[in-house]
Amino acid sequence: MKNKLILGLILIIITFNTNAQSPYLEFGLGTKYDVFKIKQSGNTFENNIDLGATAFISYGRPFINKMVMWEVGIATNNYKLNVKVNGDNGLVFSGRELVSVMRSNRIFLNLIHLTKQINDKLSWSNSLGFTILFGAKNPYDVILQRSKEIETPTGNQSIDIKIKTYGLTGSSILISTASKLNYKISKDFNLVANLGLLSGFGETTKVEIDYVLGSSSNYKKAIFTNNGFAPMFTLGLKYNLQK
C-alpha cells in the first residue's frame, strides 16, 4: 500500500507543471557504505568499511519556481557485508570476509532546493526524497560455509562458519537526503558532486552467521542487520535539455 501511494505521488509530480523550463538529465557513478549492526556474544566479528559501487540516471525540472526542482530516477542499490573474523587472544582468522547480502535497484523521487548561488559557475543545493526498492533478491540459495585454520605456538586454532543471507526482510521504502555542488562546465553541461544518506523505517535486510571455534560442537550465532542506512558519494554529469 505504501509503495502504491509513493508511486502515485511520483506520477502526480511528474504531470504537474509540465510547462516549466530547463528540464535536465543526469548520469552518475559513485560509492556507498552499507552500515550493519552486529548482535553477538563476544567480539568474534567486527565490521570493516567497504565501499560498494552505485550508478544512477535521473530526470528533473523546476517544480514550484526556479529555486525548487523535482527529480525522479533509477539507481542500483546492492548491499554487502565485510567483516573481520577474530579468534582468542588477539588471533585474527581473516581480516576481510566479504558477503553479498542483497541485490536490488531503487526508484527515487527528490525535491531539490537551490540553497545558494555561490558564483556564476558554482551553486549549492540540498534535497529530500523517497526511494522504493525493486527487483530485490537473495544472491544465494544455499548456506555458505567457510573455514579457517591457523597454526600457533600452542597448537592449531580453527573456526567454521555458516552464512545465511535473507535478501529483503522488511520495508522496501527508504528516505534520502543529500547536499550537492553543481559546477557549470558549459551552457549544456554541469558537473555534480553529491554527498547523501539513505535510511529506512525498520530492518531492510539481514545476515545470520553460525560459527564454532576449535573442536567444539556448540555453534554460536551472530546476526547482522541493516535498516537501509548507507552514506554515499557520487559524481554526475547533468545535461540541460533544450525545448
CATH code, domain carrying 174:
2.40.160.20
- Tell whether the torsion through CA atoms of 7, 4, 198 and 47 is positive or negative: negative
- Stronger pLDDT, 80 or 65, i.e. the higher one: 80
- The SS3 of residue 19 is coil
Residue from 93, 100, 106 nearest 224 by CA: 100
> In this predicted structure, what is the pLDDT of residue 64?
77
- The SS3 of residue 191 is strand
Name the average pLDDT for the chain.
Answer: 88
Instruction: Note the pTM of the prediction, 2 decimals.
Output: 0.82
For residue 74, give its domain range.
2-240
Structurally, how many domains does the chain consist of?
1
Q: Is the model's pLDDT at 217 over the cut of 50?
A: yes
